[in-house]
Structure 1
Amino acid sequence: MNKPLHPDQLRNLVPLDSLSPRQLWELRVRVAPLALEAGQLLRPENASSARHYLMSGSLLLNGRDGQQTHVVAGSPAALHSIAFGQLVEARALEDCQLLTVDGAELERLLSWRQALQDVLLQLSMDGEDGEWLERLLDNPLFAQVPPANIRSMLGRLVEIDVPAGRTLIHEGEAGDCCYFLKNGRAQVLKAVGSGEQLLAELEAGACFGEEALLEERPRNASIAMIEDGSVLRLARADFLELLKAPVVSEVDLDDVADLLGCGAQWLDVRLLEDYEQGHAMQALHMPLHLLRLKTRLLNPQRPYLCYCESGKRSANAIFLLTQLGFTAYALRGGLDALSPAERAALLWECGSGYLARSDGRIERSL
């Protein structure tokens, strides 16, 4: 129980059973074990605001009304959290294992899930197909988007039927919109010499074309349909207003120390020559054009701090990392917003990228 739990170990607990699979994956890193030896007491003042679930052993709950309740792991009662607000104490009748779930995070996920269900219900009443929306909104990106924005976004999408072989986005063109793949499959292609290299395949629910909108640069790859399908087009202005603004979290330099103290790590998304001239302490070099490929070296349980010169590449990085389920923040205003003294104090290390470990492999982050 020292490792993050698999969602299957959480999905039967109440009210966790109302969360989506993606939300359970998010929540599993906010769950911690708590061991009680036989005879040990757990009182309300020591239980904090977390929710506690009995996973093994048995407890005797002494209520404020004088009633006693015997709870055994695996019983229907053990699927509910222990209501410490109504108890004087809980006594372990044998060695027990409990799970403590971050109460604030659980409440946030439940509130968002309920609001999302309200949106889906209204859309289904309007005759909209909810299955593709479930897939689309299961993207971690939308966990940061207020339901009101999602409702507005859905009203501004333009559906387009696209045959197999049609190229929706051409590498090198200016970006004026992004797309959501409603059905069918698409491929991401990069020009290499006189040919093209396949970078990835996209399935229903994928968002693509957003990088050019965030960076205000030409499209960095082409997107072509593999089979007949349909996409939903969102104009650049609507994307920036409804999706980018709530998703891209920014922090000031004054707040960085607290995040680093909680285990955050710097990501430098600039070019290699800029990184080598000076970077933040132990910053991993993750140039933006390689970030999607290099995310396998990152730890989903760890927050990341991104920086670049203007802040635009960092915003792009945050958007991408959020879609992939990471928690990340951008340095507000980028390095350009720092004074010369602040910049020198931040970018004091020089040289090549730090080693990053992933699945037993070790490689440089650049």
Structure 2
Amino acid sequence: MSAPLNPPQLRGLVPLNALTERQWRELRPQLVPQPLLAGQMLFRRGDHARLAYYLLSGALELRDASGGATLLEAGSEASCHPLSPSLPRLHDALAVRDSSLLAIDSATLERQLTWGSTHQDLLLELGREGDSDWLEALLASPLLVRVPPANVRSMLQRLHRVALPAGSQVLREGETGDCCYFLQSGRAEVIRGAGSQQQLLAELEVGACFGEEALLGDCPRNATVTLLEDSVLQRLDREDFIDLLKAPVVDQVSLGEAARLLGGGGQWLDVRLQDEYERAHAPQALNMPLHLLRLKARLLDGEGTYLCYCDSGKRSASAVFMLSQLGYRAYALRDGLDALPALQRDALISETGAGYLARSGGRIERSR
């Protein structure tokens, strides 16, 4: 298998040449040349695959609907840009010589470019203070993708620097949450339970946010966070977190809007406890209790849309925030089930007993 190309080998490709080193690292698994033999078709007119193709070597023929053909050779100015980028494709693309290409997910590339355009000025301004590495990691997190730049700037101004030695317990399971933290340097581990029941949930690296779940759900800390190295943290108080981050990140929808999203392929996600779910739940709703959501989210479909609900709306708001951090598209039922008129609630929560399970890749099965 070919090794991934490095930035100097790709600096002539547009708009890849506008990406930062960190963005290159995220794209690295996709930067592997793919062979295309003479006579093979790369794509046909009408193709909808969300991929940006770049010709690295060889030559292709692009043929349009009228039969007109254009020869595209590697090294030409045109080969520095994506091939037939409009969707659906306007051309047939046929290799006329043995060739190699890059195929990059268009959605990932667009997200990287949007992030760069949004935060470039902020990085340039604050990078002069020597914080560019951790800031870039922070700003690249899914948590901040939908936060307006003005909110991000205000958030950075309200952070409080905290330096702690390795072994420090920053958060303790069961305590009341009054702030969250961003990891500026060092590493940390997240553990739930005690003694023989301890479970390692995650290891946190530079740019990670932790402690936010207790703020969103107005509930005790659900895990203990311990530093593995001497670390520098940035603390954000609860009030600032809610004002600047929660509001723009947690999308809430009415029952009518939820119905429209369901009609487009959305999925109900019940984040209550299993006993609550089995008593009554929405048709075909998945049950992922909030305290297990971070562990189980990997089973969800990364391209899916999830409509979270609970009784009061607090747990579902926390679930949407968490899923947004992980890069999923999620919405909360505004103010929860309790805010619905009795008839609407009864109509929505109409199934009882065991429900549905998510398998790897987002496949959904009825539980038995």
- State the alpha-carbon separation in 2 of the partners of residues 298 and 193 from structure 1: 31
Residue 343 (structure 2) pairs with residue 337 (structure 1)? no
Sort the Cα spacing of 1:193 and 1:364 in 2 relative to 1 into closer, same or farther, 3 A. farther
Match of 2:200 among 198, 201, 222: 198
2:80 alignment counterpart = 79
Contact in 1 for aligned 2:60/2:71 (Cα 8 Å): no
Residue type of the partner of 1:339?
A: P
Residue type of the partner of 1:18?
A: A
1:300 alignment counterpart = 302
Partner deviation per Cα, 1:260-302 (whole Å, 9 max, x = no partner): 2332211100111211111112111000011111112111111
Q: Which moved more, 1:250-259 or 1:94-103?
A: 94-103
2:127 alignment counterpart = 124
Gaps of 5+ in 1: 1-6, 28-36
Partner deviation per Cα, 1:222-277 (whole Å, 9 max, x = no partner): 21112211111001111111111111111211122332233221110011121111
Partner deviation per Cα, 1:5-50 (whole Å, 9 max, x = no partner): xx98xx955225535359869x9xxxxxxxxx99x996xxx899x9
Sort the Cα spacing of 1:74 and 1:335 in 2 relative to 1 into closer, same or farther, 3 A. farther
3-state SS of paired residue (1:233): strand
2:271 alignment counterpart = 269
Q: How many angstroms does 1:189 deviate by?
A: 2.4
Sort the Cα spacing of 1:83 and 1:22 in 2 relative to 1 into closer, same or farther, 3 A. same
Contact in 2 for aligned 1:211/1:219 (Cα 8 Å): yes
Residue type of the partner of 1:59?
A: L
Residue 264 (structure 2) pairs with residue 281 (structure 1)? no
Residue 62 (structure 2) pairs with residue 59 (structure 1)? yes
Contact in 1 for aligned 2:44/2:93 (Cα 8 Å): no
Contact in 1 for aligned 2:287/2:357 (Cα 8 Å): no
Match of 2:166 among 158, 164, 167: 164
Residue type of the partner of 2:132?
A: G
Aligned-pair Cα RMSD in Å = 4.2
1:30 alignment counterpart = none
User: Which residues in structure 2 correspond to 1:1-366 (within 5 Å)?
Assistant: 14-19=14-19, 20=23, 53=53, 57-59=60-62, 70-72=71-73, 75-81=76-82, 92=92, 94=94, 110-125=113-128, 127-192=129-194, 196-358=198-360
3-state SS of paired residue (1:280): coil
Partner deviation per Cα, 1:183-202 (whole Å, 9 max, x = no partner): 11112222336874433322
- State the alpha-carbon separation in 2 of the partners of residues 323 and 165 from structure 1: 26
Partner deviation per Cα, 1:56-83 (whole Å, 9 max, x = no partner): 8322689xxxx99642467551331468
- State the alpha-carbon separation in 2 of the partners of residues 18 and 260 from structure 1: 37
- State the alpha-carbon separation in 2 of the partners of residues 316 and 272 from structure 1: 17
Contact in 2 for aligned 1:53/1:79 (Cα 8 Å): no
Contact in 1 for aligned 2:61/2:70 (Cα 8 Å): no
Q: How many angstroms does 1:167 deviate by?
A: 1.2
Contact in 2 for aligned 1:59/1:72 (Cα 8 Å): no
- State the alpha-carbon separation in 1 of the partners of residues 288 and 179 from structure 2: 26
- State the alpha-carbon separation in 2 of the partners of residues 109 and 308 from structure 1: 33
3-state SS of paired residue (1:144): coil
- Using structure 1 for the length normalisation, give the TM-score: 0.77
Contact in 2 for aligned 1:309/1:334 (Cα 8 Å): yes
Residue type of the partner of 1:292?
A: R
Contact in 1 for aligned 2:201/2:295 (Cα 8 Å): no
- State the alpha-carbon separation in 1 of the partners of residues 356 and 106 from structure 2: 33
3-state SS of paired residue (2:193): strand
Partner deviation per Cα, 1:72-95 (whole Å, 9 max, x = no partner): 46755133146899xxx9665847
Residue type of the partner of 1:138?
A: A
Partner deviation per Cα, 1:161-188 (whole Å, 9 max, x = no partner): 1011111112222111000111111122
Gaps of 5+ in 2: 31-39
Q: How many angstroms does 1:108 deviate by?
A: 6.7
Contact in 2 for aligned 1:177/1:236 (Cα 8 Å): yes
3-state SS of paired residue (1:263): coil
Sort the Cα spacing of 1:296 and 1:91 in 2 relative to 1 into closer, same or farther, 3 A. closer
Q: Which moved more, 1:14-23 or 1:317-326?
A: 14-23
Sort the Cα spacing of 1:93 and 1:299 in 2 relative to 1 into closer, same or farther, 3 A. closer
- Using structure 2 for the length normalisation, give the TM-score: 0.77
Residue type of the partner of 2:139?
A: L
- State the alpha-carbon separation in 1 of the partners of residues 351 and 150 from structure 2: 44
3-state SS of paired residue (1:57): strand
